[in-house]
Amino acid sequence: MTEAKIIDSFGRPHTYLRISLTDRCNLRCFYCMPEEGIELMEKPSIMTLEEIIAISKTYVDLGVDTIRLTGGEPLVRKNFEYLVRELTKLNITLKLTTNGILLDKYYDLFEEIGLKKINVSLDSLDKAKNAFITKRDYYDRIMQNIQDGISRGFQIKLNVVLIKGVNEKEIKDFIALTKDKNVVVKFIEFMPFKGNKWDWSKGVSEEEILNEAQRAFGKVDTLENPKHSTSNNYQVEGHKGTFGIISTITNPFCSDCNRIRLTADGKMKNCLFANSETDILGPYRNGESIDQLILDTIQTKKYSRDGMELKMDADQYENNRSMISIGG
Ligand code: SAM
Ligand code: SF4
Ligand code: SF4
């Protein structure tokens, strides 16, 4: 294994890179994509597949051992198959976050190359509500793909963003899925990004989720969190699967953060909430070495939530990007 060299000023080694392949998406989830849309990136400003592969290699040489492909919707990226085949050669753990619509096209490939860890976003088990949240009607296809993925032995995690008045009544239904399916449900606290009309009164906190789980199922066991975990993890006694809570708002997991992000237009972000970005693609295209740039950039990483340690600050998050163009 390559020595971890991307170490921030708090001594945290960064070994986990999340790459956004595109800011395009076949859904319009209201908490992610602003109602008025986003200004889409111009094609020439987006990293080509060869650039993604070469820049990834630099990160891997600096100690990155895990790459998660995200977006936008990563599976709408043209020649996705070629990209993952090339990234697999870097000898890393490759993971994917997707809305699940196109998974059926790729399961055979994923089996072949050993990509096993797939996070699928699914915010409601109700077809009509799903259409309300995503503004599109792909529910049946997504459900079928999730079911097939579980049957084929993929490690499927369901990402569920909870929003009051929308889907918070489904907490117990999602946890019920873990009864006899080997699936992990990750509840995510609603987070603020540019244009998503965030207001914490719409959010559902870790405490509320846990209380609801205990009310519905009685005994809930607390599991040991793996190193660098971004969630507190639980299991209802007797259930096959588990659930976790990503409590970025009420109880952020920053102390052990090992994550860096690369946007589709090749900007490095030290944190999901970072306003500042470092252009990696520009210097790469100019033939400059990007190693030192990456190492220098991580030195500017703040300890927690890009400095929003105590509370979310609208001046800051409204100057961030929308989630769809960061890559969650
Ligand atoms: N399109 C893919 C998907 O939906 O899984 C990948 C990109 S999406 C931006 C990644 C994750 O970010 C999804 O699980 C989504 O639910 C989550 N997300 C987007 N906006 C969010 C917000 N405002 N608060 C919390 N999670 C959010
Ligand atoms: Fe698209 Fe994912 Fe954002 Fe939904 S959460 S709009 S699927 S990028
Ligand atoms: Fe890391 Fe930022 Fe997420 Fe905290 S909020 S865990 S510092 S990426």
Q: What is the pLDDT along the chain (328 residues), one digit of tens a residue?
A: 789 999 999 999 999 999 999 999 999 999 999 888 888 999 999 999 999 999 999 999 999 999 999 999 999 999 999 999 999 999 999 999 999 999 999 999 999 999 999 999 999 999 999 999 999 999 999 999 999 999 999 999 999 999 999 999 999 999 999 999 999 999 999 999 999 999 999 999 999 999 999 999 999 999 999 888 999 999 999 999 999 999 999 999 999 999 999 999 999 999 999 999 999 999 999 999 999 999 999 999 999 999 998 899 999 999 999 999 998 7
Greatest Cα pair distance, the chain, in angstroms, is 60
Cβ–ligand 2 distance for 264 under 6 Å, the answer no
Query: What 8-state DSSP symbol labels residue 307?
Result: G
The residue to which tokens 């051992």 are assigned: 65
Please indicate, yes or no, if residue 299 is contained in any of the structural domains: yes
Residue 1 lies in a domain: no
* Strand, helix or coil for residue 131: helix
* CA of residue 109 to ligand 1 center, whole Å: 24
Would residue 155 count as lying in a domain? yes
In this structure, is residue 2 part of a structural domain? no
Query: Is residue 279 included in any domain, yes or no?
Result: yes
**In a domain? residue 9:** no
pLDDT of residue 328: 77
Are 223 and 242 in contact, with CB atoms under 8 Å apart? Answer: yes
Say if 198 falls within a structural domain.
Answer: yes
- Residues 23, 324: contact at Cβ < 8 Å? yes
Could you identify the atom of ligand 3 that is nearest to the CA of residue 304?
7
**Residue 6 belongs to some domain of the structure:** no
Residue among 14, 137, 117 at smallest CA distance from 70? 117
- Report CA(240)–ligand 3 centroid distance (Å): 30
Paired sense of beta strands 16-20 and 66-70, if any: parallel
Query: Considering the entire predicted model, what is its pTM?
Result: 0.97
Domain of 290 in residue numbering reads as 16-326
Which amino acid would we find at residue 318? E
Q: Which two tokens stand for residue 5?
A: 């060299």
Q: How far is the CA of 121 from the centre of ligand 1 (A)?
A: 7
Q: Are 94 and 84 in contact (CB under 8 A)?
A: yes
Sign of CA dihedral 174, 175, 178, 180: negative
Tokens 């084929």 sit on residue: 152
State if residue 72 touches ligand 2 by the CB under 6 angstroms criterion. yes
Query: Residue 122 belongs to a domain with what CATH number?
Result: 3.20.20.70
Rounded to whole angstroms, the Cα distance separating 189 from 199 reads 12
How far is the CA of 103 from the CAs of 120, 126, 178, in angstroms? 9, 20, 21
How many domains does the chain divide into?
Answer: 1
Q: Which two tokens stand for residue 320?
A: 């961030």
